[in-house]
Amino acid sequence: MTFNTTAARGREKHDRSRAQLVEDLLDQMTPWNPEERLSAFRSFLVGSLSLVHIHVLTILEIQGPLSMSRLAEELDVSVASATGIVNRMEERGLVERRHGESDRRIVSVHPTRAGGEVFERLHRRRREKLTKLLDRLSDAELQAFLIGLTAMRRARAEVAVDERHDDADAGPAR
């Protein structure tokens, strides 16, 4: 057997074992049975907050205040539906409508302080739950997990850059 054949078989075996390792990691990272989904949704649905409300608050956090028509577009709903959503959120003190200074017909939706605090509460709750999980790991497991997560964050950033370049190379959608 030549060196090249031996090296090729070694690479092939490495590729198969790496692929299996990736599969095993995905299996560990992605199980989401119905009980876990329900638990996650319950933690999201704090009080009378719905997933639509979280979506609206996220859009406003990223893009800033939006007109009703622009918010409806972002939510992929009619302006009438967006108005109903904003009405309910306004009743709960999560957002407020403001009229434009130069044109009072223009109404923009702004998050309130309470709306902004929603994500702070979710962040705290998530950290509390994760702390309980991490407390069950040994020091060695914690160290290995940190190394893995740090590598994952780096890879995620690299993929995001690659996707932005791919999107820029593809040009505008038609």
The answer to whether the pTM exceeds 0.85 is: no
Strand partners, 97: 109
Residuewise pLDDT in 10s, the chain (174 residues): 566 677 677 677 767 788 888 888 777 776 666 777 777 677 666 666 888 998 999 999 999 999 999 999 999 999 999 999 999 999 999 999 999 888 888 889 999 999 989 888 888 888 888 899 899 989 999 999 999 999 999 999 999 999 988 888 877 654
